[in-house]
Structures are given as C-alpha cells and as structure tokens.
Amino acid sequence: MIETLYSKDWEDYELLDTGDGMKLEKFGSYILSRPYDEAVWKKSMDWKNIDGVFNTSKNSKTSSLEKAGSIGKARWVLNDKVPKKWELSYKGIKFLASPTPFRHLGFFPEQAVHWDFIESKIKKEVEHRKKNGGESVKFLNLFGYTGVASIFALRAGAEVTHVDASKQTIDWAKENQKLSGLEDLPMKVICEDVMKFIEREERRGNKYDCVIMDPPKFGRGPKGEIWKIEEQLPKLLNQVQKILSEKPLFVILNSYATDSSSLALKYSLEDVMIKYNGEIRAGELCLKEKSKDRLISLSNVAIWEAK
C-alpha cells in the first residue's frame, strides 16, 4: 500500500495553486512561482501579486515579472521587496529561506512530515533510555542540505551528525542551528562526500540508531566525486547498513529522482534491513493545495521503523 504523507501544521508556508507546469507558493510574506513539471493540468487561480518567478525557457511567459529578466535563462526574477534571505519556522524550529540557483529555497516544505516523525520517535526513545540507563540516541543525516531535519533531531535529544558535500549548505545548516538557539547541543556538521564518510565511519566502528538520506539524482562531491543515484544507491544502502546499531530505531530513504518510485525505494531498503525486526512503509510526500484542497505529490519515500 502506498501512503500519502503530508503535514497539516504549516503556518509559514502554503501551496496556493498548481498548473501549467508551475506551482504557486507562499513563503512567509512572499508569493513565489517556480516550475513543477508534473502539473500538466490547468491553473485554478488567477496568479496575481507574485513577488518572484523562477524563470526558464519553458515558463518565460507566466508572469510580467519575466520582463525584468532575460528570457530563457534559468534564474530567479524577484521584485525589490524580496530579501536575499528571511526567517521562517515550523513548530518552533527556525530556519532561513533564500532563493537558490537551483529553484529551491533552502528547505523542502513537504518534508515537514519527516521532521515530525524524527522528533517524535527520537524524543520517545531518549526518554526510554534515560529511564533505563541506556546510551544516547545517535542520528545521522546524509545529504543533509541546510539541516532542518538535523535540528529537529537535535531538539529531540539526539547526538546529531550532519553530512553534505556542499560547503555553502553546511554553513547554512550551522546558521539554522544557531537561529533556533541550539548551537550548544551536540551536532557535528561535516562537509564531505557521503560515500567516503560512511566508509570511514565503518572503519572507525561508529554506529547510528537513526538515519535519514535524501540522495540527489546527480551530484558532485567536494573533490569532484560523481554521484549517480541509479549506480550508487545499492552501494549507499549496503554501506549504511554496516554503520547501524544493533537495534536501530528508523531509516528514512527519500528521493526526488523522477524515474524512481516509492515501491522501488521500499524494495531496495528491504534488502539491506532484512536482518532487523521492523516494518517498511512506502509512500509519497505531499502538500495540500489551497485552491482545490487536493494532495500534490512532490517526492517518494520508504521508511523502515523498528517494531
């Protein structure tokens, strides 16, 4: 069974409408439009008062804001009131939004369901271990981006290790940690190629109770290492299994690769988690669209959870 997972608790973000290959979103005070190729249907709203558009050759006529930019170039076209970065929050965790050259804004709002799950599971386990004299809960975020998931794990009481190959996003993660007032809690923020990191952790004998990974379809490490998900995912999962504790709490595998599916992620995760006592769910991360009150799928996910 495929689950549709979405958060009902957003206050600083809203998916307003989708259609004609685009999505209209509100990030705090600012309304922005960016490509969403899967939206092959028509828009339901009249898109007015837009503060910014991510401009590509495909969507170059969607807004009068395009006239301020160069048609055909992939870039943001923003009005003067949109700052370079601004503060948002979700359930008390603060983080910075900022339009990036890759059309993202430094976080993925559909992943709020992951943040809820991570905090709830870790908090419960931390309380259990404190009562029974157990060790601390160790959380690993691979391809961690700007660290919002890591910060929720940190607030829940875990010892956090956050890994990403981009120096810019690593600095962003540190800034988000400080913004939420959690800079004194134990969070290692590491700029390194993910595969090299987990291979080294295996040699060192380091183990983790909780892992979330959101591998890109394609990417490059800090020393030019090439990542292709169709080639590297099996190796990644096998290596992650080698650094899990004897009784792991959960493993989350998320993917935005357009040719992946939640079932494929589930079957891949099943292979490496077979020796552990747990269950795997497959699903789609979604957002609720305001204009038609329908769910819009944004990514695929498989979640292994201990019984």
CA distance 114 to 250: 11
Query: So what's the pLDDT on residue 73?
Result: 72
* Four-residue CA torsion sign, 263, 264, 269, 275: positive
Query: So what's the pLDDT on residue 217?
Result: 73
DSSP 8-state assignment for residue 244: B
Count the Cβ atoms, other than its own, within 10 Å of residue 11: 10
Q: CATH homologous superfamily for 109-306?
A: Vaccinia Virus protein VP39 (3.40.50.150)
From the list 36, 73, 30, 67, the residue with the least C-alpha distance to 52 is: 30
From the list 207, 29, 220, 6, the residue with the least C-alpha distance to 116 is: 6
Query: So what's the pLDDT on residue 294?
Result: 97
Query: So what's the pLDDT on residue 237?
Result: 96
Q: Which positions ≥6 away from 260 have C-beta within 8 Å? A: 229, 300
From the list 281, 211, 271, 181, the residue with the least C-alpha distance to 235 is: 271
Left (φ > 0), alpha (ψ -120 to 50) or beta: where does 31 sit?
beta
Question: Where in the chain are the domains?
Answer: 10-97, 109-306
Chain CA centroid to CA 52, Å: 22
From the list 207, 201, 210, 191, the residue with the least C-alpha distance to 152 is: 210
Q: How far is residue 165 from each of residues 62, 146, 148, 172, 301, measured CA to CA in Å?
A: 34, 11, 16, 13, 22
**pTM of the predicted protein model:** 0.92
Query: So what's the pLDDT on residue 58?
Result: 63
Residue 80, phi then psi, degrees to nearest 5 = -70, -20
pLDDT, tens digit, 9 for 90 and up, residues 117-166:
999 999 999 999 999 988 999 999 999 999 999 999 999 999 999 999 99
Residue 180, phi then psi, degrees to nearest 5 = -85, 0
Question: Could you tell me which CATH class the domain 10-97 is placed in?
Answer: mainly beta
Low-confidence ranges of the chain (pLDDT < 70): 57-72, 218-230, 258
